[in-house]
Amino acid sequence: MDSSYVVWVFLAALVTAVATGVGALPFFFTREIAAHWLGVAGALASGIMLAASFSLLYAGLQSHIALSLVGVVLGMVLVAAVDRLLARYSALVPGGGQFTNQTDWRQMLLIVVVMTVHSIAEGVGIGVSFGKLESTLGLVTTIAIAVHNIPEGLAISSVLVPRGVAWWKAALWSVFSSLPQPLMAVPAYWFVEAFKPFLPFGFGFAAGAMIWLVFSEILTDALEDTPSETVASVVTLAIVGMLAFQLVIAPGT
Ligand SMILES: [Zn+2]
């Protein structure tokens, strides 16, 4: 295994992390967001997260059904537990008490946590695909993840910006959520055989956490602000758009 290659694996995964920040850029042009757009932004985030979850689930189930299922269940349980803890103890968390709207604060924190956790599995995915020493596979996986990170940054920003976070801060949080990608890609590349069984579990975990968060928080909140017809239309189109986008940039991954 070529040690200088590790640097390239790290840099490739770092590029994917930076790409996530690009997703916040549309908010540079729309600083003021009217209340009814809050639901549309939430619906957009939901559709993107659901489509990303489906892709991860599909990849996980193809390699190991039982491990993927265990991952999904644990992903759900973890987010549900964090959600309950935050609801109960938010005033005790540093910075948590200063938000007048505790629901908003909890949702912002949850989406950053869940999207960061889901990047761990994707970082392992990048490292493992490079580790197979088929550099084309590694490169294709990296490009696929980098490009799908852009709408994921948009999903995070769609939750943060309408709740008062500056667009550039949303961009930084988006990049932060993808930092596990370069951090996990390198060990996964070095110890590819050890990390391989983790993938179906990790993909299932990421999908379970994201789908749960969509239905427990983001989508239910969107339906409070915006008519259900609008929310349903945006979610449907966002799912199709994200899946088509992934298919166009990396067919067959
Ligand atoms: Zn992702």
pLDDT for residue 116: 92
* More confident site: 33 or 96: 33
- Tell how far the Cα of 186 is from the centroid of ligand 1, in angstroms: 18
Give the mean pLDDT of 12-33.
85
- Tell how far the Cα of 98 is from the centroid of ligand 1, in angstroms: 31
Claim: this prediction has a pTM higher than 0.85:
no
Give the mean pLDDT of 48-71.
91
Q: Is the pLDDT of residue 127 over 90?
A: no
pLDDT for residue 88: 77
- Tell how far the Cα of 172 is from the centroid of ligand 1, in angstroms: 16
Give the mean pLDDT of 183-187.
89
- Tell how far the Cα of 211 is from the centroid of ligand 1, in angstroms: 12
- Tell how far the Cα of 191 is from the centroid of ligand 1, in angstroms: 22
pLDDT for residue 190: 84
Q: Is the pLDDT of residue 247 over 90?
A: no
- Torsion angles phi and psi, residue 9, rounded to 5: -60, -45
Instruction: pLDDT band for 218, please (50, 70, 90 cuts).
Output: confident
Tens digit of each residue's pLDDT (9 = 90 or more) over 78-120 = 989 888 887 777 666 555 555 556 678 888 888 999 899 889 8
pLDDT for residue 164: 85
Q: Is the pLDDT of residue 126 over 60?
A: yes
Give the mean pLDDT of 5-17.
86
Instruction: pLDDT band for 250, please (50, 70, 90 cuts).
Output: low
- Tell how far the Cα of 52 is from the centroid of ligand 1, in angstroms: 6
Instruction: pLDDT band for 134, please (50, 70, 90 cuts).
Output: low
Tens digit of each residue's pLDDT (9 = 90 or more) over 227-246 = 999 999 999 999 999 888 87
What mean pLDDT, rounded, does the chain reach?
Answer: 84
pLDDT for residue 99: 56
Q: Is the pLDDT of residue 226 over 60?
A: yes
- Tell how far the Cα of 148 is from the centroid of ligand 1, in angstroms: 6
